Amino acid sequence: MTRHQLTEEAKPPLVPIRQLSLRFSSTRRGARLARQLAVQQITEWTGLPYDSDPARTVALVTAELASNAVRHGSLPGRDFRLTLLLLPGLLRVEVTDTRPERLPPPMPPQPADETSGRGLLLVQACAGRWGYAVRDAYTKTVWAEVPLRPSGP
């Protein structure tokens, strides 16, 4: 993965068509609710069916980012934030946690016998782009952009 994919590029930001931001408890239940909300919002905003490729990709990406926030980015008593930005032709999923010192690792190949550690590889494979941003001393945001092309026949 190149450096420009890991940090936000210096270009004019796109203005979101729609935006939603909610906080969830840093628990497995919170991660599950974030995934369900993301799928519900993409289907409401775009009219795509729940079983469309973009909706499934949003579910996977949100589940991985929220799970990582709960597992690796949480502090006791602190929530994580899910932000969904509907942009022209894509949905940007952002998950903000409270551990800015714990950045996503570089992407070395995982040994075949490992039982975890492939979540960001899935995000990289499914999302158009992904990366992270540390904007202050208290939080980090990991984001992924999912293209909203309709699934083929």
Contact call for residues 30 and 66 (beta carbons, < 8 A): yes
Tell me, what CATH number does 135's domain have? 3.30.565.10
132 with 101: CB under 8 angstroms?
no
**What percent of the chain is modeled with pLDDT above 70?**
81
Report the domain count for the chain.
1
Instruction: Check: pTM over 0.85? Answer yes or no.
Output: no
Residue 153 forms part of a structural domain: no
Asked if pLDDT for residue 151 goes beyond 60, the answer is no
In a domain, 28, yes or no: yes
* Residue 145 to residue 128: CA distance in whole angstroms: 6
- What's residue 55's pLDDT? 96
**For residue range 76-122, what is the model confidence (pLDDT) as tens digits?**
778 999 999 999 999 999 999 988 888 887 765 565 566 556 778 88
Whether the predicted pLDDT of 129 surpasses 50: yes
Per-residue pLDDT tens digits for 48-81: 999 999 999 999 999 999 999 998 777 777 899 9
Contact 91, 84 (CB under 8 A): yes
Q: Would residue 152 count as lying in a domain?
A: no
Segments forming the whole domain that contains residue 91: 3-107+115-147
